[in-house]
Chains A and B, each alone.
Chain A
Amino acid sequence: MAVNGAQIVIDRLSHVYRPPHGRPVLAVDDVSLAVSHREFIALLGPSGCGKSTLLYLIGGFLPTETGTITVDSRPIAGPGPDRGIVFQHFALFPWKTVRANVMYGLKRSGLPRAEQEKRAQAFIDLVGLCGFEDSFPSQLSGGMKQRTAIARTLAIDPDILLMDEPFGALDAQTRSLMQSELLSIWQRSPKTVIFVTHDVQEAVFLAQRVAVMSARPGRIKALVDVNIDRGDPHLFRSKPFVDKVDEIWELVRAEAIKAQQGKER
């Protein structure tokens, strides 16, 4: 499948998850999706729908068995620094300080040491962690941990940013702050972002396009464009925003109910 201008092309991708004990589960079922350069797309669906599995496949963390994923027309082969990832539970190296975490990817960048340090500091400043460079992750709040993780990933300047429910472990206030910050970072230096979430408002607030996924096995049920004016100071009460949330919520509701019944069965 050739899609003009698309950076990431997923074609008829399926994935069977084989737990060490228990029977195999079809987690991703025949998914095709094209993502353009510098697009911000959200993968939205109920928990357990395979949206994270899809993200891990794009990241190259899980092997592609059925179907293909290409990035800039090349099939992916394992993880790489062109696709940075941010996990829900931060995945910071707990034995490294904030600075050493942010430096980790830069060490292999080929930049001179002084340049690496300058760059690390610039990203620490960008996420507002100036003064915490020598703290260990265990000394930081959840929001600060996730800021560190975002700085660590942005520092290596990946073309593509994969985000796996990155704000899901944060309290409501921190989450809404981080959403705005992510949006302003993305607006200043656009990257292709694939953002996994189960929060409809979050998806509508952040993404240009929302891929609604069905309950397991994960399929793409609908692709919804989001064209809203994010500069609106009363965005969350504005009619276009509320209507878009309602529209997508209708699509998700049926799947959420199915997922719930699946669990109870």
Chain B
Amino acid sequence: MSEPRARALPALASALWRYVPVVLLLALWQAASDFGWVSTAVLPPLLSVLSSGYDLITTAEFWEHTAASLYRGSVGLLLSIVIGGALGIGMAWWRPVNYLLSPIVELFYPLPKSALIPVTALWLGFGDTSKILLIFLGCMLPVTIGAFNGARGSEQTLVWSARSLGASRLQTLRDVVVPSAMPELLNGIRTALALSFILLVSSELIVARKGLGSMIGFLGDGGNYDAMFAVVLAVAMLGFFADRIYQVMMQRALRWRE
């Protein structure tokens, strides 16, 4: 019984050990203002950023902004996963769908998605829906391409095996093609997750009255740099934890690969 715990502790220690460079970077940040290497107007001391961050998280306002951002990000990302994944698998499975969509995908893939910020604002205004549409459009293509490549790489003999074991074409799609696509699809979703943070914060910075991005904007405009840096840190941590949680989920889903 004690064995897993005995292994868990060194695992935790080594995980913490990995982040020592981050601690060093934070120490350097504090030292830079303590020793006057950088003007505090440019880079406020870490400790004052942390203390104003602490003040911030005790306000309801901060959590309202966080909730708005999380809502937009998760709905947009979820839509891009469902629709983008379905399109990618459809392109791999039905040739006409591929003929129809692949030139469109090729054309839009290199487009910097932030260029759509004014477009979606023009269409849907400053509220949630314009951000959701932006994140959906911006995050969809990596998911589509991951699903397409994964599904297209599904082995012929696996498809044939399923068919000779009595599966219909649609059952084969569900039981063989979709799981075959999973490793690449999940990688595409990871890229989409990172993109969703970029698009979320940049769109909120430019056109929004709510959300962490807009908070960074108005704290900066008001000269409240300690708090502004605190929100930037909060966004960074949010992104980091979202990615870590996603990676753990992905490893679990793909544990058959070993």
Q: Which residues of A are at the interface with B, using a C-beta cutoff of 8 A?
A: 56, 59-61, 78-81, 83-85, 87, 89, 91, 93-96, 104-105, 108-109, 136-139, 152-153, 156
Contacts and interface: CB of A to CB of B under 8 A. Distances in A.
B32 to A, nearest CB: 49
Interface centre among B165, B167, B175, B256, by most chain A C-beta atoms within 10 angstroms, is B165
Contacts of A96: 256
A79 B155 CA distance: 16
A84 B160 CA distance: 10
19 contacts: A61-B160, A78-B163, A81-B166, A83-B164, A84-B165, A85-B164, A87-B157, A87-B160, A93-B161, A93-B162, A93-B176, A95-B256, A96-B256, A104-B165, A105-B165, A136-B256, A138-B258, A153-B164, A153-B165
A80 B157 CA distance: 14
A195 to B, nearest CB: 16
Nearest to A149: B161
Interface residues of B, number: 19
A134 to B, nearest CB: 11
Interface of chain B, helix or strand or loop or mixed?
helix
B67 interface: no
B167 A84 contact: no
Contacts of B179: 93, 95
Interface of B: 155, 157-158, 160-167, 175-176, 179, 182, 255-258
Contacts of A61: 160, 163-164
Contacts of B166: 80-81, 105, 108-109, 156
A109 B257 CA distance: 29
A109 B182 CA distance: 28
A95 B167 CA distance: 17
7 cross-chain pairs, A with B, having the tightest CB-CB distances, nearest first? A105-B165, A91-B157, A79-B163, A81-B166, A79-B164, A95-B256, A136-B256
Given A61-B163, A87-B161, A136-B255, 20 more contacts: A59-B160, A78-B163, A80-B166, A83-B164, A85-B161, A91-B157, A93-B161, A93-B176, A93-B179, A94-B256, A104-B167, A104-B175, A105-B165, A109-B166, A136-B256, A138-B256, A138-B258, A152-B161, A152-B165, A156-B166
